[in-house]
Amino acid sequence: MEAVMKTTALRLYGKNDLRLETFELPPIQDDELLVRLVTDSICMSSYKAAVRGADHKRVPDDVAARPTVLGHEFCGEIVEVGAGLKGRYQPGQRFIVQTAMKGTYDAIGYSFQNMGGNMTYGIIPSCVALGDYIIPYSGDAFFYGSLIEPLSCVVGAVHANYHTIQGEYRHIMDPVEGGAMAMLAGAGPMGLAMIDYVLHRGRQPKRLVVTDINDERLERAARLLPVDRARQLGVELIYMNTSGSSDVVKDLLALTGGNGFSDVFVFAPVSQVVEQADAILAYDGCLNFFAGPSDEQFSARYNFYDVHYNATHITGTSGGNTSDMKEALDMASRELLHPAILVTHVGGLDSAKDAILNLPGIAGGKKLIYNHISLPLTAIEDFEEKGRDDALFAGLHRICAATGGLWNKEAEDYLLANAGPLPEVS
């Protein structure tokens, strides 16, 4: 008789209806994998799925009766391999997953009952296990693996930009090398990831302007990705707070001598920001709407005179593909990308519900969840204060202080060895 495998998971039943529950997983089929999920970093897309429920494109209509498991930025290890997959996968193998499958809106973290990042154990379905969606991960820290998926979204967005040749009917993909690039509302976690990628990918713009309206975010970005370091790589990096500007468009255009930007990325679903991006495009400029809105009716004015006469154009992406994940993983393994700069909070699976539902109001960068422990969501910058009364946080502060406040493998190992286990939920 097969042993019963229990899991504890954060399941979505409908709009704003998330429940942490313990239940039994069925035995795996020949073309499935039983996996142990160790980490999941929370994405704004999980928040959108939680607040929209069945109205979300990737969430099934019958989610109230067949709840799905949230979370798609995860890293884990294989526990059991179905008979039909022997030799293709190995027990104990660490992995990450490209969750956006071709030809369907179904995706892990939105659409499946027994698989998602916010659970202790799960079953990878055959459509994923038999496709080119599982990527072996040989890194020594699970959290690095979790952050490859968001990094791949940035890689995919950059590759999606395109430009044209006058008189020819073909597109040249990627931002203009040696051009001017702007990232509006770009000092958040995904903005940091894009700055890091743009600086280190080997095909840089000459000038990169990053705007935000929050000094704290801009100061953290400048500390982690300094202007001097960018200059050494051949990029003039400018951080700019636009909150006090009476004419943002004029101020941004002045940084290009009035010529405009060849590539503009928009990181906030705000009509005014989109319109600013449109207004600062150069001839043949590409506007990349990177921010995914929750409002299906979200819109902004766009200058079609410039579309006709100045060849301006717009694009957007939702996630990266498997190739993008492999590129991000390769760059991270060679320390050309630095995933740790994205993380500002850590917590246990019992903190994931509140973190997801309140994500827009929680300052900072990525919120990293460790699925097998119990821990309130805590900012790294608060470790020192909490450590005065709690030995666990005192140890975490000591470890993270040595890396300038960045989360790291030693901190992960310490947390997993010393935090309380996640209890079953009756």
- Most distant CA atoms of the chain, gap in Å: 74
Query: Which tens digits make up the pLDDT trace of 297-339?
Result: 999 999 999 999 999 999 998 888 899 999 999 999 999 999 9
The reported pLDDT for the residue numbered 296 is 86
Q: With a cut of 50, say whether residue 1 has pLDDT above it.
A: no
Query: Which tens digits make up the pLDDT trace of 113-157?
Result: 999 999 999 999 999 999 889 999 999 999 999 999 999 999 999
Q: With a cut of 50, say whether residue 75 has pLDDT above it.
A: yes
Instruction: Give the global pTM.
Output: 0.91
CATH of domain 5-150+322-376: 3.90.180.10
Instruction: Name the 3-class secondary structure at 105.
Output: coil
Fold classification of 173-310 is Rossmann fold (3.40.50)
Q: Are strands 180-184 and 261-266 parallel, antiparallel or unpaired?
A: parallel
Q: With a cut of 50, say whether residue 99 has pLDDT above it.
A: yes
User: Rounded distance, CA 223 to CA 283, Å?
Assistant: 33
Of 8-22, 177-191, 288-302, minimum mean pLDDT range: 288-302
Q: With a cut of 50, say whether residue 168 has pLDDT above it.
A: yes
DSSP of 304-371, one letter per residue? Answer: HHHHHHS--EEE--SS--HHHHHHHHHHHHTTSS-GGGGEEEEEEGGGHHHHHHTGGGS-SSEEEEET
**What are the CA-CA distances from residue 344 to residues 42, 349, 390 (Å)?**
11, 16, 19
The reported pLDDT for the residue numbered 3 is 56
Tokens for 206, please give them.
């000459």
For the chain, domain boundaries: 5-150+322-376, 173-310
For the chain, give the percent of residues with pLDDT over 70. Answer: 99
**Positive or negative CA dihedral for 148, 154, 156, 158?**
negative
Tokens for 264, please give them.
């503009």
Residue 312 contacts residue 278 (beta carbons within 8 Å): yes
pLDDT band at residue 295 using 50, 70 and 90 as cut-offs: confident
pLDDT band at residue 239 using 50, 70 and 90 as cut-offs: very high
The reported pLDDT for the residue numbered 320 is 87
